[in-house]
Structure 1
Amino acid sequence: MIRSLLSVGGFTLLSRVTGFLSLAMQSAIMGAGAVSDAFFIAQRLPNSFRSIFGEGAFNAAFIPCYAKSLEQEGDEPAEEFAGEVYALLLASQIVLLLLVWLLTPQFVSLLAPGLGDRPEKFALAVSLTRITFPYLLFMTLFALHMGALNAHGRFALPAFAPNLMNLTVMAALAVAFLFPNAGYAASWGVTISGALELGLLMWGARQIGVLRGLRKPHWARVREFFLMLGPAVIGSASPQIAVFADTILSSMLADGGVSAISYAERLYQLPVGVIGIAAGTVLLPEMSRRIASGDVDGAHKAQSNTMALTIALAAPFFVAFDTIPELIVAGLFMRGKFTAHDAVAAGDVLAAYGAGLMALVLIASARASFQSRGDTSTPMKIALSALAVNVALKVALFRPLGAVGLATATSVGLWINLGALVALAIHRELIDFDGVFAKSVGATFLACMLLTLVAIFGRAPALALGLHFGAQANLVALIALGAAGAVVYAATLIGALHLAGVRVGSLRRGRR
């Protein structure tokens, strides 16, 4: 299982790299004007639907039902169930696509009301939205195929697929001269990439003999899935509501507030995608399969070891974000018009986000306690409660603290979410932290203490070294300090685990 986690994390990291390259190419060709604004608006509509409905919510409902059918009924009944869901999803997405195509001006007006007095830009946004919206249809069917592949222990192909979007958009921009403008090229790139991603997973599913075709739906068979899907979708909508609140409130801040949040969030999301989401993606089907077969202890072992490994992998990012945030931002972004003042502002926001990092990377694993048993309602209620506190704190803190207040509210909301999930799971005996988990967390804590000392006392020597490299001083200092910290952290963690009698291999193999 841990091998699958690392595979997902590696391909996710690759997608972050190709995504950065794609964004750089978009900015170079489209710039920051009417065309790029219209393209980002056109992208936002299908991406918002995908974020709410997509892989997370869908898998939370589909994988437990599919895994249960596989374990208790066999391959053919499970295939019938998947085929029935396939037919319903395809029909619903075609209806939604036709509706949006007919009412695109109304949808764009709702999403971007500020375009009302700029008819040319509004018309371009409408045209590009009609091009990009089929991406949602492809991604919904992509989520179905991903869920089926994950349930069969196949994770690499779905994790790699998002790279196709970044590569396809770059290829489309490379021939932008063939289109009316670069916005049209990028929009077609998005839609074509959706078809390619779906095609890749359809091929993977055929290789293992699943999702071979559509089946006539029977409500009795798919009823459980749709009853679970509703709460999962509502729960997935809560982060989008928080993002919407950030967008509204940050627009009221002084110049630079929105940029500080954007740069800090880009860094903050790196360990989340590579570690937290990867852990949840792999753990949910593993726990669902074990619970469906009656191996509850095995499910608890898998969860405990995954969470221990997640903590060990994410902890260095937490220490870095809260000890040297300004150096991180300066080393990566301080060039051209990005000043030292900008680095300090973004660094302060990164530190506030970093305070909630450990909670964020663990939420998906903690949520699996409920979702693996078919309970999507409890995580939904907890997420909405945490969201209420999050938004209330944003409103209270953004005036006195600015962008830092918004990030602080996000971190508080994440800890409330994780704390409630774990407390309720313990109360219901849905989670079991074993001795390996406790020893691993203790070893991680010791390694973090030494890493903190390296960050604090090694910063000055690292900066002195960087001065010899002129304009790249901050980047060199960051690399030097990061390399020293990585050696100290890894050596301390492995040594502490050895002294505690925990073999690293036991975490990878899921043994006690």
Structure 2
Amino acid sequence: MPNENPASSVPFPFPPPDDAPASPAPAAFEVSSPPSPTIIPPSDSVTTPTTEPGTTGKTRRAALLTVGSTGLSAVISLANGLLMARLVGATRPLDAYLIAQLVPQLLGITFGPRFSAFLVPWLISLRHAKGTAFARTMQTRLLIFCPSVTAILLLLCYFWNREVAAVLAPGFKRATDQELVVNLMKWTFPGGVCFMALSVLTSIAHSQQRFKGMALATLINPAVTLVLLVCFGKTLGVFALAAGFMIGPLLGCLPVLWSLRGSWQDDNIVNGLNGNGQQDTTLREVPHFSSVFMLALITTMQVQIPAIVGRILASGMGDGVIASVEYAGRFSWMPVTVLANSVGNALLPSLAEKHQTSENGLDAAALSNTTKAIRVLAYVLVPLAMVLACYAFPVISIALGGGKFDRNAAILTADMMTCCTPLIWIGPIWMILFKVIQARNALRVLLETLILGTVVDVVFMLCFKNVLGYRSIPLASSADCLMATAFALYRTHSSIALPLGEIMSSMATLTVIALIANLVVFIVRPVTPWLITGAVYGVVYLGLAWILKIREQREFWSLILGKGLKRFRAAAS
């Protein structure tokens, strides 16, 4: 039945697939914000979510296929790291370290930004479809696509690692340097990045043509980087690798945009109708997606250029500095994080949501102001923060090192600037803020949480660096994530359909869990903090899902914690 107060609900931004019947989109969750005079939605624009017959099986298929693609991504990264370890002559303990990282990688990928950007939209789109054709089609395509692409990517892994080892490995003889090379290759290999892009784009890809575009993108990305390494690795060295990190993802996006080319000129799409004469707003988001993609592209270029310049400037400062700067090669995958968070988690859903809201009567001036604010944030705030991260870590490392540029202090600072900066987790919070409160308030709260998270990072690193040293990183990372998330929820509790006491008590529970987990840091090897950090992030994201009471995530957990394999066989049959 229609909701009695449509103005107090925020519809989920992703519309149903092409073959879904014309029906109003159900609300993802309810909020309790006061009605605004500029919002005049029709009385039947929002409906109470109901479980359609047959949607349980579709949801289970979607959840299991998501877990399968995530597992394949983790296996690719793990296999790539093991291959690189063999090529650089690393010792056996490094293998155990890589295998141990599989757990936090699964947690961070499945229940982190990729989970929010992919699984929930897909589950909701499947719940919109009363028939089974769309679910069967996507299941068949993914079951064929994932194994074949995985095999090709693993083959590319070998050649990729061989070329990278020839370029980088001779200069790294110590165990810490070997760990650097292996980590750099494991985290930056485009296989995992492509699966992230695939996850985001699957939310809007309902045609075979666009699915082929995603398949090409998944293969073009590593292939381009490998070609650059083979052709220019001996002459350019590490810069050929940086060029591959920069050019590969950009060229990989071209097939996807090309597969969407027909959406720009189709009269049916302009009129808001798909081929079956049903209302369809999915493809009408293509102009929004392209404009947001260009913002992310500019941001990515602004990030990579100072990173490369920083390496050049530091090359004359001695061996320790060179090793530290190369260890800061983690910056190479930070632009991908910005790209995924800005497009997949924040800008694209918010633009789609505003587009739908405008059709329901949102004032055009309010839309224009919000769009301007988003553009300012994308053009100024994120690039500024990334540039500061690239140039500030040598200065901070000198302060941590007691007045001299110490190798360990530089590594510690580089990790702090890359792994603990709020840019890593700000994407999911940004997405949540845009869903539950007005956009202008979300921007203000976003800035406040960004500042708070940065302050927490600095305080924890300065207070505990002498006691914990390298192991203070996960403590700072966990603290900034938990505290900033709690602060964001506190600032927006009036817009969430839960009392403040319940929100804060749940956050307190998560904090206790995180602190208990970090106690393990005191009794284990220094490599374990990354496992703990991944687990803490997983707990935080699951806590957010529980707080916001997203129905689809509860269904996902009931599937995973239940007899998942048996249900999968039953659904597949």
TM-score (norm 1): 0.35
User: Which structure shows the higher helix fraction?
Assistant: 1
